[in-house]
Amino acid sequence: MDEAFSFVFLMFAATLRVATPLVLCAMGGLFSEKSGIVDVGLEGKMLMAAFFAAATAAVTGSAWLGVAAAILAAEAMALLHGFACITWRGNQVVSGVAINILAAGLTVVLGAAWFARGGQTPALESEQRLMPLFFPRAGDSILVYVALASVPLTWWIIERTRFGLRLRAVGEMPLAVDAAGISVAWLRYRAVLLCGLFAGLAGAYLSIAQNAGFSRDMTAGQGFIALAAIIFGKWRPFPAFGACLIFGLLDAVAIRLQGVQMPGMGEVPVQLIQALPYLLTMFLLAGFIGRAVAPKAAGVPYEKEH
């Protein structure tokens, strides 16, 4: 009995641990997408943040300075995205892809030049990391709770505040927002900056809470899984959170099932479980499980008439 409880608890904890960066990233992405700015650059923002968090924590010895650096790095990428997509009305997907590739290269180039460990940052001591608060075995660092709190917060901002109302409006019909005398560009910039904040926290979690340092490409597609979760949750905070938990559970199960013989079906290929979030999202997008409708103005640059 005790063992079963311990198993369930550990599975639950593992799910939360894996889901935390997804949740943070998805909530950030929601703000951006709701405002009409498509963000395929979540992965890159998170990677940059992870690198600067670990690098700063390693150099200064302070985890909190690491978190601050992560947020700054992600915000810099977010501003770049905003500058290209909002100010210059560039293609949002192209800008996102550019940010992903830039981050993949720059983190290794800077890491190798500064620390000379082939792109890795030095291993962090426990006082340089965000350590578990209550349950050492569960890995419940403060960012796990931040991620949990971010879901109702995001819901509240988007659904219950004036800013949220305008945010939704600008993602559906920017012309109406403009006609009401509200700046489309400023609204979208704020959305993009909120996205950077959350992506920064997600990156910091990866490198200084979940792991003890940065390694190259450590985001490993999690930014895209977060994007999938947003779509899977049909651009709503709580369902997106649910999708993150499902994807997190899949990952936790995949690690558990490695090499295990299942009764009746032999060994379950771990790769299949890893590909499931993407496959499920595509089934959803194809309209086989309900319908996912993006904000109407998503991806379309807004041209103010003079």
Q: Are 27 and 151 in contact (CB under 8 A)?
A: yes
Closer Cβ to another protein, 13 or 77, answer by number: 77
Angle of helix 2-34 versus helix 184-204 axis, rounded to 10: 150
Instruction: Return residues touching another protein (CB under 8 A).
Output: 38, 40, 80, 83-85, 88-95, 97-106, 108-110, 112-114, 116, 118-119, 221, 224, 227-228, 231, 269, 271-272, 274-275, 278-279, 281-282, 285-287, 294, 301, 303
Question: How far apart are CB 295 and another protein at their closest, in Å?
Answer: 12
Question: How far apart are CB 75 and another protein at their closest, in Å?
Answer: 17
Closer Cβ to another protein, 10 or 292, answer by number: 292
Cα distance between residue 228 and residue 209, in whole Å:
24
What percent of the residues of the chain are helix, what percent strand, and what percent coil, each to the nearest 5?
70, 0, 30
Closer Cβ to another protein, 32 or 92, answer by number: 92
Please give the sequence-ordered ranges of beta strands (E in DSSP) within the chain, or none if there are none: 261-262, 266-267
Closer Cβ to another protein, 19 or 63, answer by number: 19
Question: How far apart are CB 288 and another protein at their closest, in Å?
Answer: 8
Closer Cβ to another protein, 117 or 139, answer by number: 117
Question: How far apart are CB 110 and another protein at their closest, in Å?
Answer: 7
Closer Cβ to another protein, 108 or 243, answer by number: 108
Q: In this structure, what DSSP letter does residue 124 have? A: P
Q: Give the max Cα distance, the chain.
A: 71
Q: Are 277 and 225 in contact (CB under 8 A)?
A: yes
Q: Are 53 and 287 in contact (CB under 8 A)?
A: no
Cα distance between residue 230 and residue 236, in whole Å:
7
Phi, psi of 142 (to 5 degrees): -60, -30
Q: Are 141 and 133 in contact (CB under 8 A)?
A: yes
Nearest to 102 by CA among 122, 73, 123: 73
Nearest to 91 by CA among 301, 297, 295, 304: 301
Two tokens at 35?
A: 């405002």
Question: How far apart are CB 131 and another protein at their closest, in Å?
Answer: 31
Closer Cβ to another protein, 109 or 149, answer by number: 109
Question: How far apart are CB 48 and another protein at their closest, in Å?
Answer: 11
Question: How far apart are CB 84 and another protein at their closest, in Å?
Answer: 4
Question: How far apart are CB 92 and another protein at their closest, in Å?
Answer: 8
Cα distance between residue 121 and residue 196, in whole Å:
22
Nearest to 198 by CA among 57, 31, 82: 31
Closer Cβ to another protein, 30 or 108, answer by number: 108
